[in-house]
Amino acid sequence: MIALLAAATVFGAAPQLPPLPEIRREPQVTYLDRSGAVLGVRGGRYAPPADLAKLPTYVPAAFVAVEDRRFYEHTGFDPVGIARAIVSDLGQGRAAQGASTITQQLARNLFLSSDRTMERKAQELLYAVQLERTYSKRQILSLYLSRIYFGAGAYGIEAASQRYFNKPAARLTLKEAAMLAAIPKSPTNYNPADEPERSDERAGIVLAAMVETGAITPAERAKAMAQKPKVWKSAPTASAQYFLDWVDGQTRQLAGAPRQDLVVETTLDLPTETAAAEATRASVAGHKAQAIEQAALVTVDGAGRVRAMVGGTDYAKSPFNRAVDARRQAGSAWKPFVYLTALEAGRTPDTLVVDEPVTIAGWTPRNYEAGYLGEITLEQALAHSINTVAARLADEVGRPTVAATARRVGIVSPINTDPAMALGTTQVSPLEMAQAYAVFSNGGNRVAAYGVERIRTAGGAVLYQRKPVVWTPVIGNPPLSELNRMLRTVIASGTGVRAAIPRYDLAGKTGTTSDYKDAWFCGFTGGFATVVWMGRDDATPMRKVTGAGAPVELWRNVMSAELKRLPVQPIPAGPAPPPPPLVVVDPATLPPPPPAPAEPAPPPTN
């Protein structure tokens, strides 16, 4: 080690040193929500050099004080520190590790492995000297702050500030800066999210070092130590990672593999997304007794913009995006496609039908409740999700025609046309159901759900701009107005009555599949549709979970928050008149339906 120190000193004074390797950094793609908030970064690990001019002066000062207080004096390495480490480590047979300057740490990060060998340490010293000769202290510190690891997957000061404090590094307080400067010594032991007491203790050491270096006063240290910054236990944008996985694929299709840093402006509304994710986790946790394991949620506006996307309860544990990639039977949430086909064929909400036993190609559908209602209107049949009526109606108008209707409004998955298709045996994703229901909300215009509005370089050059929406009508009137009237009735007095929110114009449909494997609520207001799915990843049954239960509750909780943020309007159809009372054919065997009847469970596909 003494020879190593001597060699480094000689190289420090020598006029010629080997050239530095090229500093490489893979391009990053930064995703923003619709208001400009950072959702996350994909691509390369490291951000561009930190802009010291935008950081409070105490941020870099905290790192200099605790990591390398002679940073502005040495030429890449600190002989005094190295000598002290040599004395400490002479009997241990390894290179000194506690004397690395900020420049040495940067050299190791840029060019070397973390192997603890004499050869690597010698290279580190040589590269550190060359870095000092090539770059200014300010440039070295900028590079260092952009590459240092802060734990929890955060590389660089900006990523760390967003991860732990949900704010840009330019807004860090003195205490927060000290907490971040405390981490590099041991990202595991001083992580403020997992080790708050150790983090606070070491932040005190950082602040004391800042006093010793003159960066702050004792009074400023005392004031900072009294503060308790909010630390996010998990990343504040964790739920948005499902959405980012989805739009990252879109970005690469639109702009190709990034060759420079890109910024992608998306459609997501982060406050809405965060509230939806929290409500989803709480709902699943609150219904554990009913064996609900997972949930997914999508909100799409009338132009197809995805405003919220929850792909599961915990991205860190399961990044599988159930909102996009899961295909589950739609249950009775499929029935609006059946009824829309019938309305387009000339029927009306007031058309009389008969709820009675029916057999189609050897298949006999069952209602959820025992008994039959006899003669009822189509509006009543949809509101109370009568299976016999839906099955007969699809048979009469033609199941291929129903499939064509579903395809026309946005269903892209394969559609079966066996008799049970009327009850929702087709497997679909929550995203495509939201895409389809958005057509009901926007006046009957087809939309394609999307998440990318604009892609630009970090310098501002626009590479892609979403074209303005061109309306493509796919549902005319009166069928659209009549269908919306019927779907309003589902919430006013049918299976979705618990979804009602006072003073808002809402419509929707519950859905439950056979053996309670899937439960849905698909609902909308003017210009916005939100779809909720609940179930289990292995498709085993839940405990009598229907669309009228937990999914409706979750939908209402989420929509109550969304309606306050989104520019909602009445559904493009007149207000629905109150439905006529139901007439029960056999009161001895079938009591009147309760205010919130359970959703019917269709039989499995034949």
- pLDDT per position as a tens digit, 354-372: 999 999 999 999 987 878 9
Residues 6 or more apart from 219 whose CB is under 8 A from it? none
Q: 604 pLDDT band (50/70/90 cuts)?
A: very low
Q: What percent of the chain has pLDDT above 70? A: 88
179 in the same domain as 303: no
Contact 181, 66 (CB under 8 A): yes
pLDDT at position 19 is: 82
pLDDT at position 528 is: 95
H or E element at residue 432: helix 430-441
192 in the same domain as 299: no
Does 499 have pLDDT greater than 90? yes
CA atoms within 13 A on the CB side of 532: 32
13 in the same domain as 130: yes
**Cα–Cα separations (whole angstroms), residue 479 to 197, 483, 506:** 63, 6, 18
**Cα–Cα separations (whole angstroms), residue 588 to 209, 358, 363, 544:** 84, 21, 27, 25
Contact 323, 310 (CB under 8 A): yes
Does 585 have pLDDT greater than 80? no
Report yes or no on 342 lying in a domain: yes
Give 416-455 pLDDT, tens digit per residue. Answer: 999 999 999 999 999 999 999 999 999 999 999 999 999 9
Q: 118 pLDDT band (50/70/90 cuts)?
A: confident
Ranking 49-53, 360-364, 572-576 by mean pLDDT, the lowest is 572-576
- Rounded Cα gap, residues 9 and 1, in angstroms: 12
Q: 599 pLDDT band (50/70/90 cuts)?
A: very low
Active site residues: 67, 332
Domain housing 338:
271-565
Helices (H) and strands (E) in the chain, counts: 19, 14
| 125 compared with 421, residue with greater pLDDT | 421
**Residue ending a domain, choose from 167, 200, 225:** 225
Report yes or no on 264 lying in a domain: no
**What is the identity of the amino acid at 467?**
K
Give 261-283 pLDDT, tens digit per residue. Answer: 999 999 999 999 999 999 999 99
Report yes or no on 293 lying in a domain: yes
The model's pTM is 0.86
Long-range pairs for 168-172: beta carbons < 8 A, 24 or more residues apart: 168/38, 169/50, 169/54, 169/55, 169/59, 170/54, 170/55, 170/56, 172/55, 172/56, 172/59
Specify the CATH number for the domain of residue 447.
Answer: 3.40.710.10
348 in the same domain as 213: no
Specify the CATH number for the domain of residue 132.
Answer: 1.10.3810.10
317 in the same domain as 213: no
- Average pLDDT score over residue span 557-565: 92
560 in the same domain as 461: yes
Report yes or no on 586 lying in a domain: no
Among all chains, which residue has been given the structure tokens 């959702």? 39
**What is the identity of the amino acid at 176?**
E
- Average pLDDT score over residue span 566-586: 56
What are the φ/ψ torsions at residue 546 (nearest 5 degrees)?
-110, 165
- Average pLDDT score over residue span 516-538: 97
Report yes or no on 411 lying in a domain: yes
- Rounded Cα gap, residues 581 and 163, in angstroms: 55
Mean pLDDT taken over the chain: 89
Does 119 have pLDDT greater than 80? no
Q: How many domains does the chain have?
A: 2
Q: 550 pLDDT band (50/70/90 cuts)?
A: very high
**Residue ending a domain, choose from 189, 210, 225:** 225
307 in the same domain as 183: no
**Residue ending a domain, choose from 210, 225, 240:** 225
144 in the same domain as 18: yes
430 in the same domain as 299: yes
- Average pLDDT score over residue span 135-163: 96
- Rounded Cα gap, residues 200 and 197, in angstroms: 5
Report yes or no on 255 lying in a domain: no
Report yes or no on 245 lying in a domain: no
- Rounded Cα gap, residues 519 and 535, in angstroms: 6
Angle made by CA atoms 586, 587, 588, in degrees to the nearest 5: 90
- Rounded Cα gap, residues 297 and 530, in angstroms: 7
DSSP labels for 223-275?
HHHT------SS-TTGGGHHHHHHHHHHHHHHH-S-SS-EEEEES--HHHHHH
- Average pLDDT score over residue span 405-415: 97
H or E element at residue 196: helix 196-212
First to last CA, the chain: 79
Read off the DSSP letter of residue 288: G
pLDDT at position 99 is: 65
365 in the same domain as 477: yes
496 in the same domain as 384: yes
478 in the same domain as 416: yes
**What is the identity of the amino acid at 268?**
L
**What is the identity of the amino acid at 309?**
M
Does 114 have pLDDT greater than 90? no
Report yes or no on 579 lying in a domain: no
Does 229 have pLDDT greater than 60? yes
Does 581 have pLDDT greater than 60? no
